[in-house]
Copies of this chain bind each other. A is one copy, B any other.
Amino acid sequence: MKKLINDPSNIVDELIDGFVYTNKDRVKRIGRNTVVARIDAPIKDKVGIVIGGGAGHEPLFLEYIGKGMADAAAHGQIFAAPSASYGLEAIKAADGGKGVILLYNNYAGDVLNFDMAQDMARDEGIKVETVLIYDDISSATIEHKQDRRGTTATPIIIKIAGSASGSGMEFEELKKLLEKASFNSRSLGVSLSACTLPETGLATFSLEDDKMEFGMGLHGEAGIKKVDIMTADKATVTILDMIMADLPFKGGDEIIALVNGYGSTTRMEMFIVMKKIHEYMGEKNINIYASELGEFCTSQEMAGISITLIKLDEEIKKFYDMAADSPGYIKMARK
């Protein structure tokens, strides 16, 4: 797979420069490291929200810093965790005196390095706690939730975090809210083709042209079921049946339904999937409060989609409905 790049060893550095050029009125780079922050960070007397992880999933993570979203993001190289020192820089950039919550996807490398960053920040007297996102139901059973990976619920949970912290919510209450939002979020995807690593041009896995694989991870982690290619409707029902059973979601629930494109999937396909989600939920008497559709968390040019369902309550809805203005997620206040 050909890609429009320059020096393969310098991709993330260049992408971050391009990101800052594109959004120069609202973001800043911290030094020459792969750490970015809201231009007005730290916000005094607001709990800071720090996100981060491997690069290569754009708009995740860096495009989700901004008003009503996160304060700073630490990046690693493509599909690789940020170093602890970059995590620490992001924490410092986000700390407005009320402490910082680290909010990121549950992957071993990220946890290792962000935990070190957390310890280093605490040593400097900054209050830091972590909330992990672990929405991918394919990556471990419900009994081993701690082993579940985070995937495409992330932008919505970041949005809840940004709005709640921006509204002045105190540290402990905010942490509880984010733990609830994380617990209430469940995702599952299906892949139709692999992606290639830009540094090497090599595919992360192989998938026959007449097959699709449910539960494939964002970095090519093995899925749970490889099957013959099926229709959009059948794939959607297969995913929804599994997600619904996992929380479980039930009649009368109010949810956000999110369709994420992994990279080369068209919005045309995503809309066809969303149509089926609405029909399915109508039959189950579940109220789709809001629909989100787009490329929120990509895996380079992997083809496929994931579906995320987030169970709502009045508190989560309140913060979801507020305005957000980040490069990767903008919304007007609802109502």
* Interface residues of A, Cβ cutoff 8 Å to B: 1-6, 11, 14-19, 21-24, 55-56, 58-59, 63, 190, 192-193, 198, 209-210, 212, 229, 231-233, 235, 263-275, 277-278, 288, 291, 293, 295, 298, 300-301, 303-305, 323, 325, 330-332
Contacts and interface: CB of A to CB of B under 8 A. Distances in A.
B56 A6 contact: no
A303 B198 CA distance: 14
Given A14-B272, A193-B2, A274-B18, A264 B267 contact: no
A61 to B, nearest CB: 12
In the A-B complex, the 10 residue pairs with the closest CB atoms:
A18-B271, A264-B264, A18-B275, A58-B267, A4-B269, A4-B232, A21-B278, A22-B291, A18-B274, A15-B271
Nearest to A288: B21
Contacts of A332: 323, 325, 330, 332
A245 to B, nearest CB: 22
A248 to B, nearest CB: 23
Contacts of A288: 21
A192 to B, nearest CB: 5
14 contacts: A3-B192, A3-B269, A4-B272, A4-B304, A6-B231, A18-B271, A18-B272, A23-B291, A58-B271, A59-B267, A263-B266, A264-B303, A265-B301, A266-B300
Copies of the chain in the assembly: 2
Given A14-B275, A274-B22, A269 B2 contact: no
A190 B332 CA distance: 34
Nearest to A329: B330
Nearest to A259: B22
Given A231-B5, A278-B21, A330-B332, A301 B266 contact: yes
